[in-house]
Amino acid sequence: MSKAGYSSEIRSTQADPRGIQVASPELRDWIIAQAESGCQPADVLAAMLATGWHENVAIRAMEDTLSAHLANKARMAELREGSAVPVPLLAEHPSHLNGGDRQVQVLMQMDAPRVVVLGGFLSHEECDELVALAAKRLTRSETVVNETGGSEVNHARTSDGMFFSRGEFELCTRIERRIATLLNWPVENGEGLQVLRYLPGAEYQAHHDYFDPLQPGASTILARGGQRVGTLVMYLNTPEKGGGTTFPDVGLEVGPIKGNAVFFSYDRPDAATLTLHAGAPVIAGEKWVATKWLRQGEFN
């Protein structure tokens, strides 16, 4: 496309009180329009300089405007098309799924949200071993007490947790392979296993597992492996009362039974996936889970 045309909009600079040039919304719209019509960045820059922009301000305005625009476009495309997600092979309604080294029961499935409840995903020995390995490394989540400025444990707000790195122990490798086989998703696209312990009263309030692309830190998080597109929560023990995984959008509660797991996927970072979920408060006993989050791309 031709050189960026002269436009009166791009003169409409707003000066802040210190007299520094500031990009106006009209200028940002103009920069986007030029980029969309195929103009080369150098031509856009030249047109801005010709209307009195300082070079460093013009470059900054272009960079900021175009990166925000591209992020927004990517988000819109993702919302429109949806991403590929991990998929257990359930078309023929099998009673069991192949986890490679273990056959896993299919206890329940639903389409919207996409949820599959799996029986016997882990053996009881594997659950106990994971708990023992994780217990040494739990860190207590603390919250600030506003009155004192100090911090204290707040069971109503969160659990204690830790992360294994991928392949850290043979047990991790075995479980990661099983997940990859059963969900048809590469091991490399998985985060390390996270283990959480909930004491009586502890809960994980309703949340989505995908990252909000509009949050300031999103681009840094997404640069490593892209979005989360699936979650597997494995129950490492059976609390006496409470501690189910709930999906408030659809009134579903999955009972936390040792060795079982709940899988759910979300093809876009949007509440329309109905994957809002929570770890309900533990009423009696403790609750231990291992969570595996699956990313779009390689998580390294």
Ligand X SMILES: O=C(O)CCC(=O)C(=O)O
Which residues in this chain contact ligand X in the complex, by CB under 6 A? 204, 209, 231, 233, 245, 277, 279, 289, 291
Contact predicate 272/299, CB 8 Å: no
Contact predicate 100/187, CB 8 Å: no
CB of 174 vs ligand X, minimal distance in Å: 20
When CB distances to Fe ion are compared, the closest residue is 209
For residue 295, the partner it binds in Fe ion, ligand X, none, with Cβ less than 5 to 8 A by kind, is none
For residue 65, the partner it binds in ligand X, Fe ion, none, with Cβ less than 5 to 8 A by kind, is none
For residue 114, the partner it binds in ligand X, Fe ion, none, with Cβ less than 5 to 8 A by kind, is none
Name which of 21 and 231 has its Cβ closer to ligand X. Answer: 231
CB of 209 vs Fe ion, minimal distance in Å: 4
Residue 299 makes CB contacts below 8 A (sequence gap 6+) with: 166, 188, 189, 190, 191, 224, 225
CB of 231 vs ligand X, minimal distance in Å: 6
CB of 49 vs Fe ion, minimal distance in Å: 49
Q: Which amino acid is at 71?
A: A
List contacts with Fe ion (CB under 5 A). Answer: 209
Contact predicate 127/258, CB 8 Å: yes
Name which of 4 and 280 has its Cβ closer to ligand X. Answer: 280
Name which of 189 and 291 has its Cβ closer to ligand X. Answer: 291
Q: Which residues pair with 22 in a beta bridge?
A: 14
Name which of 34 and 291 has its Cβ closer to ligand X. Answer: 291
Q: Which amino acid is at 186?
A: P
CB of 244 vs ligand X, minimal distance in Å: 7
Whole-number Å distance between alpha carbons of 182 and 256: 20
Whole-number Å distance between alpha carbons of 113 and 266: 8
Name which of 35 and 175 has its Cβ closer to ligand X. Answer: 175
Backbone angles phi, psi at 252, to 5 degrees: -100, 140
For residue 227, the partner it binds in Fe ion, ligand X, none, with Cβ less than 5 to 8 A by kind, is none
For residue 289, the partner it binds in Fe ion, ligand X, none, with Cβ less than 5 to 8 A by kind, is ligand X
Residue 290 makes CB contacts below 8 A (sequence gap 6+) with: 130, 134, 175, 193, 194, 195, 196, 233, 234, 236
When CB distances to ligand X are compared, the closest residue is 279
Whole-number Å distance between alpha carbons of 101 and 175: 9
For residue 279, the partner it binds in ligand X, Fe ion, none, with Cβ less than 5 to 8 A by kind, is ligand X
Per-state percent for the chain, helix, strand, coil, to nearest 5: 30, 25, 45
CB of 101 vs Fe ion, minimal distance in Å: 26
Q: Is the peptide bond before 113 cis (omega within 30 degrees of 0)?
A: yes
Name which of 33 and 221 has its Cβ closer to Fe ion. Answer: 221
For residue 245, the partner it binds in ligand X, Fe ion, none, with Cβ less than 5 to 8 A by kind, is ligand X
For residue 233, the partner it binds in ligand X, Fe ion, none, with Cβ less than 5 to 8 A by kind, is ligand X
**Residue from 16, 13, 9, 58 nearest 33 by CA:** 9
Name which of 257 and 278 has its Cβ closer to Fe ion. Answer: 278
CB of 146 vs ligand X, minimal distance in Å: 27
Name which of 10 and 172 has its Cβ closer to ligand X. Answer: 172
Backbone angles phi, psi at 27, to 5 degrees: -65, -40
